[in-house]
Amino acid sequence: MSHFEPDTVRAGDQLPALELTVTRADLIRYAGASTDFNPIHWSDRHARALGLPGVVAHGMWTMGAALRIVTDWCEDPARLADYSVRFVRPVPVPDDEEGARLEVHAQVTAVEDGLATLALEVRIPGDKPVKVLGMATAHVSVEA
């Protein structure tokens, strides 16, 4: 496995893509770990009462899991300076073994003052991919 070389990072670099899956069991686990027990993340009945198709993933799960594309790349999570997202579409998670799939892409859009700007794309794949995070941006230190 190649090591992160901060001085070689350039605008236009693509990070290795990341595929995520999330099942109902993952959401239960995240609810406990994060103490976010909102029932829209574990009860179809509650989710449908609010107009959702069924149980949806925690936005913070999606934000946190997608960030792996950055921290797997730069290896040391302490390099992260900031990270921001908009939650634009929910991620429905069916009650089956497969769960939901997400694909994550990221590109370096600028390198300035020792910080790389990364633009992330997080989508539910399919014939018509659904973008679930908007304006997902991170800044990572590329100091040696």
Partner 1 sequence: MPIGPEHEGRVYPPTRPYRVSRAKIAEFAAALGDTNPRYCEDAEPVVAPPTFAAVIAARAWQALFDDPELGLELQRIVHAEQRLDIVRPLREGDDVLATLTISKVRSRSTTDMVTIAVRLDAVAGDVLGTATSLLIHTHPEALA
Given the rule CB under 8 A, which residues bind partner 1? 20, 26, 29-30, 32-36, 59-61, 63-65, 67-68, 71-72, 75-78, 80-87
98: number of Cβ within 10 Å: 9
Length of the chain: 144
The least distance separating partner 1 from the CB of residue 127, rounded to whole angstroms, comes to: 26
Please report, as a single letter, which amino acid is at residue 104.
V
Task: Please report how close the Cβ of residue 34 comes to partner 1 at its closest, in angstroms.
Answer: 5
Nearer to partner 1, 10 or 16 (CB): 16
Residue (107 or 137) nearer to partner 1, CB: 137
How far apart are the C-alpha atoms of 38 and 90, rounded to whole Å? 14
Choice between 10 and 134, CB closer to partner 1: 134
Measured from the CB atom, the residue of 11 and 50 that comes closer to partner 1 is 50
The Cα 73–Cα 66 span in angstroms is 12
Q: Are strands 18-22 and 115-124 parallel, antiparallel or unpaired?
A: unpaired
